[in-house]
Amino acid sequence: MPTPPAPPDRSTWPPHLHRRGSRFYARLRVPPSLGHSQTHLQKSLRTDRYQEALKRLPVVLSDLRIELERLRQASDGRPSSRAKSRSVESEAAWWRARIEAMGRDPEQGIPNALEHEWDAAIEARQGSLLPDDRTAHHGPAHANEAEAIRLADLVFGRVIPVEAQLERFLEEGSLSARYAGRHRRAAGRLKAWMLKRYGTDDLRRITRRDAGDFVDDLLATGLSSATANSLVSSLSVYWSWLGRRVGIEGNPWTNQTRKAKASEKTAEKRPFTDDEVNKLLTGDTTATNRDLMLIAALSGMRIDEIARLTVDTSAGGVFRVTEGKTAASVRELPIHSALAATVQRRQLGKAGQDRLFDELKAPPSRKKELSAKASERFTAYRRAMGVDERVEGQRQSNVDFHSFRRWFITKAEMAGQPPHLISAVVGHAEGRKGMTLGTYSGGPSMDQKRVVVEAVNLPRGATVES
């Protein structure tokens, strides 16, 4: 049998097409809100040839979408009351999947075979008739008429909700949890604003003037220019993707960022002072908070990197960071000799995949951010200890948990350690760019990095174990 031709570059494949070994599969994401044990539904396309997989993908994908909607349905096969109360969107997706499975385009209307069932669904969504005095001046005749209209608009493609393509966009971009959360917040703020202002969140409704008004409203709620600009940037990236994937013309979010006002002070982030480190490490706090601070101060690691450490990734006297915000973040660094007892205590009685900080739990809205609550608790502790710095009109403090990382780097530099070695320890590309170190070097040895780590010591009076 001849070898099938090699498929094109992975970045050009359509969404939901995946490959395992030589076989192609259709794969559909299961929303976390369903609480299902599987993260994806998957079905083989029964071919190892790319072109043939492209032909089979739409049919198999329709089957998966129907299966996904069944997860939202009651045991009798109809959308459950819980699903209806949760969102019109889920029922609309169920209807579209059914129509597509019949080989029909939902935007061309309901097939004859489904007309009676569709009428019943609309009646169920409309709710009861309102009294005659409530329908004066051509008002709605049913209690939930707007809900029924939205269901029809979604099924027939008359509107494209702001969040309709969001999860597909996030999945294709393989974004980190933090950046995905920022995109969700931006889309959520825009959806709420549009529904309040226009009664619809059809993203095709947004003009440049609308985008400008949205930014004005964000600033009017007290958001800083930096935060508002961050949300605008997220929407701009999303709209660019919509243009490529969905055919939405124009990007109303370009050039919509705002300059900070003279009265709006931005934080000038800095390292902790030795006195501040001493105060934080000797204060009355939880064991979790103290251990996080100690590891950050003597390793320069980010709080989320520490939260993800396991017994395996802290074995043999080495911390192994297996994922991060940049490629340089993935690294190995020696465990400071002063941290050996702390790490050993947190490994005791745990299996290899168990996390050192297994008490940290991610919030439901940010399931990959194990450090989210720990960061909030540290901020409250820091403020209670009087370690804060901001001028009038400044919303953020000049110091935060990341100031331990800045302190570590500062102390390593003050101890005379070479910048390119410090960069290798803390996971920065800066200091290792260029032809020599960036291209030809395989990186410093563990012994070289150990010298950098051991050059940093806690301020006088701050002890490790307490």
DSSP label of 310: B
Q: What is the pLDDT of residues 267-315, one digit of tens each?
A: 688 999 999 999 999 999 999 999 999 999 999 999 999 999 999 999 9
Longest Cα separation, the chain = 84
Q: Are residues 448 and 317 in the same domain?
A: yes
Of the candidates 357, 227, 364, the one whose C-alpha atom is nearest the C-alpha of residue 304 is 357
Q: What is the CATH number of the domain that holds 188?
A: 1.10.150
Q: What is the pLDDT of residues 318-328, one digit of tens each?
A: 999 887 666 66
Q: Are residues 438 and 298 in the same domain?
A: yes
Number of domains in the chain: 3
The reply to whether 460 falls in a domain is no
Q: State residue 367's pLDDT score.
A: 56
Q: Are residues 133 and 174 in the same domain?
A: no
Are 370 and 360 a contacting pair, CB within 8 Å? yes
Q: Are residues 128 and 223 in the same domain?
A: no
The reply to whether 161 falls in a domain is no
Average pLDDT, the chain: 82
Q: Which domain holds residue 171?
A: 166-245
Rg, Å, the chain Cα set = 27
Q: Are residues 55 and 181 in the same domain?
A: no
Are 27 and 60 a contacting pair, CB within 8 Å? no
The reply to whether 151 falls in a domain is yes
Q: Is 347 helix (H, G, I), strand (E, B) or coil?
A: helix
> What's the average model confidence in pLDDT over 433-440?
53
Of the candidates 293, 289, 290, the one whose C-alpha atom is nearest the C-alpha of residue 272 is 293
pLDDT band at residue 135 under the 50/70/90 scheme: very low
Q: State residue 64's pLDDT score.
A: 80
pLDDT surpasses 50 at 80: no
Q: Are residues 133 and 32 in the same domain?
A: yes
Q: State residue 170's pLDDT score.
A: 86
Q: Are residues 320 and 198 in the same domain?
A: no
Which residues lie below 8 Å from residue 98, measured CB to CB, with a gap of 6+?
66, 69, 114
The reply to whether 425 falls in a domain is yes
The reply to whether 268 falls in a domain is no
37 forms beta bridges with none
pLDDT surpasses 80 at 24: yes
Q: Are residues 286 and 181 in the same domain?
A: no
Q: What is the pLDDT of residues 88-103, one digit of tens each?
A: 777 888 888 888 888 8
Pick the more confident residue, 378 or 122. 378
pLDDT band at residue 397 under the 50/70/90 scheme: confident
320 forms beta bridges with 332
> What's the average model confidence in pLDDT over 17-32?
82
> Rounded to the nearest 5 degrees, what angle is found at the Cα of 178, between the Cα atoms of 177 and 182?
110
Q: State residue 364's pLDDT score.
A: 63
Q: Are residues 16 and 84 in the same domain?
A: yes
Q: State residue 95's pLDDT score.
A: 84
The reply to whether 463 falls in a domain is no
pLDDT surpasses 80 at 231: yes
The reply to whether 464 falls in a domain is no
The reply to whether 82 falls in a domain is yes
Q: Are residues 76 and 184 in the same domain?
A: no
> What's the average model confidence in pLDDT over 39-51?
85
Q: Which of 245, 265, 294 is the last residue in one of the domains?
A: 245
> What's the average model confidence in pLDDT over 103-117?
84
Q: What is the CATH number of the domain that holds 284?
A: 1.10.443.10
CA distances from 354 to 130, 302, 346 (A): 58, 19, 10
Of the candidates 42, 40, 43, 30, the one whose C-alpha atom is nearest the C-alpha of residue 69 is 30
Separation between Cα atoms, residue 295 and residue 304, nearest integer Å: 12
Q: Are residues 173 and 201 in the same domain?
A: yes
Q: State residue 140's pLDDT score.
A: 57
Q: Are residues 16 and 149 in the same domain?
A: yes
